[in-house]
Amino acid sequence: MTETENNLKPRIGVFSLTGCAGDQLMILNLEDTLIELLSKFDIKSFQEASSYSENTNLDIAFVEGSVSTEHDLKTLKNIREKSSLLIAIGDCAVNGCVQAMRNKQTSIAERMIDVYGVEDNIYKTFEPKGVGEYVKVDFEIPGCPIEKEEALNALISLLNGDAPLIPDYPVCVECKLNGYPCVIIEEGKPCLGPIITAGCDARCPGLGLDCVGCRGPIKGETNAKAELEALRKRGYADKYIINRLRFFAGNFDDIQILGVKENSKGDK
């Protein structure tokens, strides 16, 4: 391949902030199509795949992981400055995910004491948040981790100059399409499917399990109060329900509005 041909391909980088690198791994798990697909791009950085990294301008930057340290923030701003498009991949990059579950509940000083036995913020950390809290994000692909098929479709769409299509409806829709019985109604399980972004093909309800919310709440359309009321009527305590919501969505505004209330039904 000539240098001219290589320069015609979109330049991409795949980066990681604070996270487990699981979203990068899902891209690598495309296996059968990965080599052919990535041959259509000029890869300048892909931390999970290669130690090679070129600090240059990019057409597309994929960023996973939450912003949890000053180093994360500096890295993110550098990526944003050098990228035409920035795509947040995975719940950590979208809303903070698991790292954010105790945001606004305990201080950084308290966490430092619990974990390291010192009050000083020696690692210059702060409450984990999604990358969109600090820079402009062009597209978001939710999930913990992302679905590899969704990553594949996003890459193909971008290659064709189209915007990635991400579901804006709840997991319940996929349950209905698949003909799965509602685990809330039929079994009284604390399923979060009514307020969680679809895209997983209702994998957990399809196995008779309740949705735990790993794809995060539907932005702009989630009614957490209605979910709280529905599960409360089935005997679940406010604290239990809200803690389930916080597991993957600690930064979700509606959780802060609801607050945590103990009730007489216990911590079921």
Q: What is the dihedral of CA 155, 132, 65, 156, to 10 degrees?
A: 0
**Minimum mean pLDDT range among 10-19, 22-31, 182-191, 249-258:** 249-258
| SS3 state at 67 | strand
Q: How confident is the model at residue 266 (pLDDT cuts 50, 70, 90)?
A: very low
Is the Cβ–Cβ distance between 15 and 82 less than 8 Å?
no
Segment 221-242 mean pLDDT: 88
Query: What residues does each domain of the chain span?
Result: 3-159, 171-258
Segment 94-98 mean pLDDT: 95
Segment 59-71 mean pLDDT: 97
Render pLDDT for 160-209 as a digit per residue (tens, 0 to 9). 999 999 999 999 999 999 999 999 999 999 999 999 999 999 999 999 99
DSSP class of residue 53?
Answer: B
Average pLDDT, the chain: 90
Instruction: State the pLDDT at residue 256.
Output: 58
Render pLDDT for 214-227 as a digit per residue (tens, 0 to 9). 999 998 777 888 89
- Record: fold of 3-159: Rossmann fold (3.40.50)
DSSP H or E run through 128:
strand 125-129
Instruction: State the pLDDT at residue 264.
Output: 38
| β pairing state of 42-46 and 67-69 | unpaired
Rounded to whole angstroms, the Cα distance separating 97 from 52 reads 28
